[in-house]
Chains A and B, each alone.
Chain A
């Protein structure tokens, strides 16, 4: 009998608990205007912060501005294409000058002939004569 009473009491309490849960569900906890404003302010701060970060990121990716003097020189020479042409010509000239000076000299003076070759050969011998050979050094002991 006591056991049955306990079960009935448990059943009643269980139903009451469900009713209490329903009441708690219905009781809406409304946020204050101040809280809503604070949450919105946080959101706007986040938007502004992200916009700033993105602007900084974009600025770092943008090509850097050249020195104004260099830019003026390039402009005076006719732009980067003209400067590139000039640079190519300068490098080619330097290469020719360093690589074959005698040929260039001969071509420039118009004195390219067989005698000139002989002279060059004899000039080469003369140069050899200035440097002691191993044979000479061996003879001298």
Chain B
């Protein structure tokens, strides 16, 4: 399928969604190109499984298409709504997967190009993802939303349906736990080099 360039880049998500609700396919295309990478990236970080993340991304986008006719401009941010849907979908899937061994979940992906620098970076990111996977669900969601997706605490509070103070507490505890989880691997991951 030939995907044209996002020509509606100046139009807000809200406006595009309302236009789609009125039957405009061009708006759907713009939203697909704009939002699917975000949704997929977040789902992939929570699930650490590309195939499952793609399923979640498609399901979340389908829910967005379905809610479009009832969407009211200014009521909520489209991305906040989507992050919330993805969080819930991922939580459901992770709960179902709880029977799997932790080692199996934490195993890094190994399907990247073999260039040394890329491999080192890949290894570092895999280590981060593996450490993230050891966190409790809420802590992981809060840390990913805050430090990787770059959301502000009030928006994270809306996504996770908790208070801003709870978000601050979750991210602080999450970061502490990540630091501890990665401390054992600091030589292998070259952390000292970063700090200097």
What total of A-B pairs shows CB separation below 8 Å?
Answer: 118
Contact of A46 among B53, B65, B124, B127 (CB under 8 A): B65
Q: Is the Cβ of B66 less than 8 Å from the Cβ of A36? A: no
Binds B, one of A7-15, A110-118, A128-136: A7-15
Q: Is the Cβ of A13 less than 8 Å from the Cβ of B36? A: no
Q: Is the Cβ of B29 less than 8 Å from the Cβ of A16? A: no
Q: Is the Cβ of A44 less than 8 Å from the Cβ of B25? A: yes
Q: Is the Cβ of A35 less than 8 Å from the Cβ of B40? A: yes
- Min CB gap B179→A, angstroms: 5
Cβ < 8 Å to A, chain B residues 53-79: 53-54, 57-58, 61-62, 65-66, 68-69
Q: Which residue of the partner chain A has the closest CB to B36?
A: A31
Chain A interface residue bracket vs B: 35 or more
CA distance A54 to B175 in the complex (A): 51
CA distance A18 to B182 in the complex (A): 12
Cβ < 8 Å to B, chain A residues 22-37: 23-25, 27-33, 35-37
CA distance A18 to B143 in the complex (A): 11
Chain B residue contacts of A31, Cβ below 8 A: 36-37, 40, 54, 57
Q: Which residues of B contact A (CB under 8 A)?
A: 1, 3, 20, 23, 25, 28-29, 31-33, 36-37, 40-41, 44-45, 53-54, 57-58, 61-62, 65-66, 68-69, 121, 124-125, 127-129, 147-148, 150, 175, 178-179, 182-183, 186, 189, 191-192, 194-195
Q: Is the Cβ of B125 less than 8 Å from the Cβ of A27? A: yes
Q: Which residue of the partner chain B has the closest CB to A38?
A: B58
Q: Is the Cβ of B58 less than 8 Å from the Cβ of A35? A: yes
Q: Which residue of the partner chain A has the closest CB to B62?
A: A42
Contact of B121 among A23, A36, A40 (CB under 8 A): A23
Q: Is the Cβ of B54 less than 8 Å from the Cβ of A15? A: no
- Min CB gap B126→A, angstroms: 10
Chain A residue contacts of B148, Cβ below 8 A: 21, 24-25
- Min CB gap B170→A, angstroms: 15
Chain B residue contacts of A36, Cβ below 8 A: 1, 3, 32-33, 36
Return the 9 tightest CB-CB contacts between A and B, nearest first.
A43-B28, A16-B191, A29-B41, A37-B1, A12-B195, A21-B147, A46-B65, A19-B194, A16-B194
CA distance A50 to B148 in the complex (A): 37
Contact of B175 among A9, A17, A33, A43 (CB under 8 A): A17
Chain A residue contacts of B58, Cβ below 8 A: 35, 38-39, 42
